[in-house]
Amino acid sequence: MKYSYKEMPEQMKGTFGDFSRNFGFSWKEFVVTVPSPLFLVTTYKANGQPNACMQSWATFTSADHGNGFYAILASVNKNGHLYTSISETKEAVINFMSAEYHAACMSTIKNNQYEEDEITASGLTVEKASWVNAPLVQECFMNLECKLKWEKEIVPGDDHAMLCLEVIGLHIDENHLPDRTGENGILYNIHYQVNPENVGKTAHDYAGVLQKKIDVMEY
């Protein structure tokens, strides 16, 4: 048996899944719960200080007949430091952390004063990127150096923007060269999964990892 939903289920009304619209989230997101890669985007603010912003809601794809590799950040708040700094510099680094550094990367959310070095304030180490004008995080096992390709709004006039970043070059820690999945691999955001037929008083966000399940084919 499948349940069908077009409007918000009655049991979700008055819960976080309802009032989270104030933060830009649809109730459908918490019912669908498609995991998205979790990473830290770093830029330089106009005052020269490093900015760091946790992001998810993204995908990565090749284009231009395989000549380019791109990150599509689907929901960047136009009122935040990240949007402002990328709009100014047109450059950024996408940093993938292992579970060991998840808490430190998450602490950049509160260490976000404009005057602050948001990376150092969170107990992480700043390194200068090799090919773009942006900082990268030493502790993150993979760093993608990027240039802004284009910006669009999913809905005209929205307060969030979709950004396409072209990956110019990348760095991978030697211990992760054989595999970027599993316990120490790329983290995924599992956002407030709820049972719409039995909504509890609380729910949780989780960070998960990928487990290989099916060997599809050999190349």
* pLDDT given at position 154: 94
| C-beta contacts of 147-150 below 8 A and 24+ residues apart | 147/90, 147/91, 148/86, 148/87, 148/90, 148/91, 148/92, 149/70
Find the domain containing 209 and state its range. 1-33+191-219
Q: Is the pLDDT of residue 63 over 90?
A: yes
Q: Is the pLDDT of residue 16 over 90?
A: no
Contacts for 140 with CB less than 8 Å, ≥ 6 apart: 40, 95, 96, 97, 101, 105
**Residues 57, 150: one domain?**
yes
**Residues 62, 88: one domain?**
yes
Burial class (CB in 10 A: 0-12, 13-18, 19+), 204: exposed
Q: Is the pLDDT of residue 126 over 90?
A: yes
Q: Is the pLDDT of residue 104 over 90?
A: yes
Beta-bridged to residue 43, according to DSSP, are 51
**Residues 86, 179: one domain?**
yes
**Residues 48, 125: one domain?**
yes
Q: How far apart are CA 93 and CA 160, in angstroms?
A: 20
In this prediction, what percent of the chain has a pLDDT beyond 90? 89
Q: How far apart are CA 189 and CA 71, in angstroms?
A: 16
Q: Is the pLDDT of residue 96 over 90?
A: yes
**Residues 165, 203: one domain?**
no
Q: pLDDT tens across 84-95, in order?
A: 999 999 999 999
Reported confidence tier of residue 144, pLDDT bands at 50, 70, 90 = very high
Count of domains in the chain?
A: 2
DSSP 154: S
**Residues 6, 94: one domain?**
no
Q: Is the pLDDT of residue 202 over 90?
A: no
**Residues 105, 121: one domain?**
yes
**Residues 157, 219: one domain?**
no
